[in-house]
Structure 1
Amino acid sequence: MEEQAVISSKERYRTLLVSGGGLFSQSASTMLLSFVLASMITSFHISGTAGGFISTITNIGMLVGGLIFGPLADRNGRVKVYALTTFIYAAATGLMAFAANIEMVYLLRFLVGVGGGGVYGVIMSMVADTFTNEQRGRVTSYVTILGQVGSIVAALAAAIIIPLSGWRGVFLLGALPIFLGIYVYTRVPESREWLKAKETSSREITSKITLLDLFRDGNASNTVKLTIMATVQIAGYFGLMNWLPSILQQKSGLSVSSSSIWMIATIIGMSLGMFVFGQIMDRIGSKVAYSIFLLASAIAVFLYSFADTQISLLLGGAVVGFFANGMNAGYGAIVGNLYETKIRASANNLIFNIGRAVGGFSSVVIGFLLDHSTLTITMGFLSVLYIISFLTVLTLRGKKADIK
């Protein structure tokens, strides 16, 4: 990896706040749909299938945004693209409040995805540009935890606003990140590391950065392997968070309120897992951290299928969340360690958004398995995915200082 520019504590602190605020806002804006989808289906008189397509088209938009804005951020700077993508998802979210038909909803949610998928890589690249290899695990864990907090705030805001002004009022709240975009564009200077990389590369080469660079100069192997790992990560997340609450209601007779308590416990477990993962990654290394969490995830997910009491379901959910989603905090850091500054945003966006697009289909696969087999087999399927990811991380290649 190239030598890093000298960066002050003030710059690091500002980057942490801006990056954390960005993922907080993006997560909150994206998650608002989850809490109003049923009301929107009723309002527009559409089927459940048509309603579900709102989420699908959001994920498609994230993939498109990631592919477009990653290279743009690498060529033109982090700050400009951060501001632009924030404007896109925030404005589109706010305009959802005025959607007159489902076609307009589809268009706006696609744009929410474009902006949200584009800003992710920028945020993680800003962290990687500003912090050293030994700090990135912890800092990306803090930023990712703030993303979880954004989801919780979205849930609380929806609970307060819907009774007062309906689902349209909720989306107006989602326009607030526009002010964050304005602040970043007007007050935050460009990353010194990116400026240094631009200076040391010729103008001709820098202007031609494309996604193909992720498959050149020895990057191809890691790009494919990290994409597999990200796909497993997202598959596990969607599988657990989309299906387990309803499974638990059927299996153990949990009420909706009890399922909400389970959800809170699981999110707390995730956040603690993210914090711990960041500490382990910086102190011991990426391979060791991922190996521990992936093997523990495979075991915890499979054993959880045998939980049959309220306490075991609650504590087990927290443990599964701790391991299975705690390692989500490390992707921005490991990409930052393995890829040069000039292609970091492209790498983050390509890897994680392809993982999001492919891994999102796990909900369909799990639904099929539940219809045609047992819960144990279904959870065993997720365990196998974690084992595949474990075997993949062992083969990642890089300098010892970057990956260990």
Structure 2
Amino acid sequence: MLDAFDHRTTLTGNQRRLVFAATMITALECFDYYVIAFVIAFVVIPWKLTFGETALILTSSGIGTSLGAFSWGYLADRIGRRPVLVMTVLVFALATGALAFTPERGWVYLAAFRFLIGVSVGGLYAVLMPLVQEFMPAHRRGQMAGLVTSFVSIGIIAGAVLGAFLTPLIGWRGLFALGALLAVLAFAFLTWIKESPFWLCSRGRWEEARASIAWALECSPADAPDLHYRPIEAKARFLELFRHPRALAASWLSQLSYQIAANGVLLWAPTLLALQLAIPAASAAKLMISVSVTGLVGRLFFSAVVERFGRRPLGLIVGIGAATALLIGACAHSATVGGVSLLWVSLILWALVGDGGYAIVGPYSAEVWPSRLRATGMGSAYGFGAMGKIIGPLALALITGSANVISPEATLDAIVPGFGFYAACYFVCGLAFLIGFETKGLSFADIDARASHDRNPIVSHHPAPPQRFVPTLRREK
């Protein structure tokens, strides 16, 4: 459809600014999203919170993320990427700012606005990823999308550091006030983001699409690629996702299995380290810093090599590699080599592949969908996968025999079945990439054609809409 980007061998300044803006927005939003972990530690005893109240506060954002990804992604294919991004950031800023005024023992207030924050964050990632991809050339698309995903880790690490050092100075309500200021800063980065030319063309807004292309290529609209007509696409319907069974199975299955395993391991690892090494929880938390940093390194690594090796091979490596690391940790958790715990080493290896591999899993969930369903498909996959944030702790509680599904009391006796279960989830994640098709080097026009070929025509009961005509953009030779 729009092959003008694919003719370039390097990124323009505006394309680089778009990636920078996307990474900053992602980091700022994720910083705010994970601040609740520090807030709970400060209010759980003074407020005398029950287990049920604590559970509702912590899970409300996860439920909101799932619902937000589904709804915002669908809306972005109906009204455009940029308006939805503005709305998600606005909701996020208002909800975070409202939390700075949380009344004493206002756990219902806290849970309600955490739910709204989850709704906005789910939509942000589901829409921002397709938008970035739609401005990138095919040979850089995976790399730049993976880079955006890497800044999720940077936001979380920044949240951990600032939460630990600033909370004693400004209080936990001050953390939310800081988060609101950072969310407002995200609006400044939105000024660098234009509407997707893919979406504009699909709606017949040809001059705006031409201007968007000109902005990205840093040329005048008059010098932008010529317009060649093609049929206008009807607006996306959610049920149309089921007409693409390969894309649906690959994206939904990889997201869900990955989120179950990754969230379960991150929840359990600090306690296991403290028990196995017989060290205080604070010391175990310091060891987890190295695990988190390794995860960031892994995401940057996979972003750098994805265009060379492809999504499907690397997705399979992520699944098998993470599963292997966890099985090593399960079988050798009590062993040491040179005084170094193999459990800690296995977690480092897991973070490199299992956490770092989301730079492959996340962007692939958007790439496999045709252009007219890309945000809807990405939102549905991310929303479906977000349920893993709830399923992971539930599975861990069942494995350990604990009634506490938010922070189950881990025991070393349960490490073999626990890590075995999460290893199986990673293995399923790797196999999911074999269901989908390879997107390396394919333009979105090629992906649209492939998705159309894989489409299941039986699912839809709607007659085909009448065709109008819309231009595609090509460079004249």
The equivalent position to 1:236 in structure 2, one of 257, 261, 265, is 261
Corresponding residue for residue 141 of structure 1:
146
Q: Structure 1 stretch 109-118 or stretch 129-138: which is displaced more?
A: 129-138
- Give yes or no for contact 1:5–1:196 (8 Å, CA) kept in 2: no
Corresponding residue for residue 330 of structure 1:
360
- 1:394 maps to a residue whose letter is L
- Give yes or no for contact 1:262–1:317 (8 Å, CA) kept in 2: no
Per the alignment, in what secondary structure is the counterpart of residue 342 of structure 2? helix
Give the deviation of 1:389 after TM superposition: 2.2
Corresponding residue for residue 56 of structure 1:
59
- Give yes or no for contact 2:73–2:379 (8 Å, CA) kept in 1: yes
The equivalent position to 1:390 in structure 2, one of 420, 430, 451, is 430
Give the deviation of 1:398 after TM superposition: 5.7
- 2:287 maps to a residue whose letter is W
- 1:149 maps to a residue whose letter is I
- 1:314 maps to a residue whose letter is W
Q: Structure 1 stretch 309-318 or stretch 141-150: which is displaced more?
A: 309-318
The whole-number CA distance in structure 1 between the counterparts of 2:373 and 2:296 is 29
The whole-number CA distance in structure 2 between the counterparts of 1:382 and 1:335 is 21
Corresponding residue for residue 112 of structure 1:
117
What are the residue-to-residue correspondences of 1:77-226 with 2, within 5 Å? 77-100=80-103, 101-199=106-204, 205-206=233-234, 208-216=235-243, 219-226=244-251
Any idea what the Cα deviations from partners look like across 1:276-320, whole Å, max 9, x if unmatched?
A: 222332111111111112111111111012233444343322111
TM-score, normalisation: structure 2: 0.78
Structure with the largest fraction of helix: 1
Q: 1:301 to 1:255 in 2, by over 3 A?
A: same
- Asked whether 1:345 is paired with 2:375, we answer yes
- Asked whether 1:4 is paired with 2:7, we answer no
The whole-number CA distance in structure 2 between the counterparts of 1:166 and 1:243 is 28
Aligned length: 399
The equivalent position to 2:28 in structure 1, one of 21, 25, 31, is 25
The whole-number CA distance in structure 2 between the counterparts of 1:214 and 1:313 is 41
Task: Give the superposed CA RMSD.
Answer: 2.3
The whole-number CA distance in structure 2 between the counterparts of 1:290 and 1:111 is 32
The equivalent position to 1:271 in structure 2, one of 292, 296, 307, is 296
- 2:344 maps to a residue whose letter is L
What are the residue-to-residue correspondences of 1:70-81 with 2, within 5 Å? 70-81=73-84
The equivalent position to 1:378 in structure 2, one of 415, 418, 423, is 418
Per the alignment, in what secondary structure is the counterpart of residue 180 of structure 2? coil
Per the alignment, in what secondary structure is the counterpart of residue 42 of structure 1? coil
Give the deviation of 1:364 after TM superposition: 1.8
Q: Structure 1 stretch 304-313 or stretch 194-203: which is displaced more?
A: 194-203
Per the alignment, in what secondary structure is the counterpart of residue 194 of structure 2? coil
Q: Structure 1 stretch 191-200 or stretch 16-25: which is displaced more?
A: 191-200
Identity across matched positions, percent? 24
The whole-number CA distance in structure 2 between the counterparts of 1:142 and 1:3 is 23
Q: 1:159 to 1:361 in 2, by over 3 A?
A: same
The whole-number CA distance in structure 1 between the counterparts of 2:242 and 2:55 is 34
The whole-number CA distance in structure 2 between the counterparts of 1:225 and 1:85 is 27
- Asked whether 1:356 is paired with 2:393, we answer no
Give the deviation of 1:69 after TM superposition: 0.9
- Give yes or no for contact 1:129–1:194 (8 Å, CA) kept in 2: no
Corresponding residue for residue 296 of structure 1:
321
The whole-number CA distance in structure 2 between the counterparts of 1:18 and 1:28 is 15
Give the deviation of 1:13 after TM superposition: 0.6
Per the alignment, in what secondary structure is the counterpart of residue 175 of structure 1? helix
Give the deviation of 1:185 after TM superposition: 4.9
Q: 1:15 to 1:332 in 2, by over 3 A?
A: farther
Give the deviation of 1:164 after TM superposition: 1.6
Per the alignment, in what secondary structure is the counterpart of residue 258 of structure 2? helix
- 2:317 maps to a residue whose letter is I
The whole-number CA distance in structure 1 between the counterparts of 2:395 and 2:38 is 24
Corresponding residue for residue 314 of structure 1:
344
- Give yes or no for contact 2:139–2:307 (8 Å, CA) kept in 1: yes
Q: 1:27 to 1:178 in 2, by over 3 A?
A: closer
Any idea what the Cα deviations from partners look like across 1:140-160, whole Å, max 9, x if unmatched?
A: 221122111111111122122
Any idea what the Cα deviations from partners look like across 1:233-253, whole Å, max 9, x if unmatched?
A: 111111111111112212221
- 1:86 maps to a residue whose letter is V
Q: 1:209 to 1:303 in 2, by over 3 A?
A: same
The whole-number CA distance in structure 1 between the counterparts of 2:119 and 2:41 is 23
TM-score, normalisation: structure 1: 0.91
Structure with higher Rg: it is: 2
Any idea what the Cα deviations from partners look like across 1:3-61, whole Å, max 9, x if unmatched?
A: 43438612211210121012101211110001111212234332133112112111111
Could you list the runs of 5+ residues in structure 1 that have no partner in the other structure? none
- Give yes or no for contact 1:60–1:113 (8 Å, CA) kept in 2: yes
The whole-number CA distance in structure 2 between the counterparts of 1:136 and 1:187 is 18
The whole-number CA distance in structure 2 between the counterparts of 1:184 and 1:52 is 34
The whole-number CA distance in structure 1 between the counterparts of 2:230 and 2:55 is 46
- 1:17 maps to a residue whose letter is F
Could you list the runs of 5+ residues in structure 2 that have no partner in the other structure? 205-228, 403-412, 451-477
Corresponding residue for residue 369 of structure 1:
399
The whole-number CA distance in structure 2 between the counterparts of 1:282 and 1:294 is 18
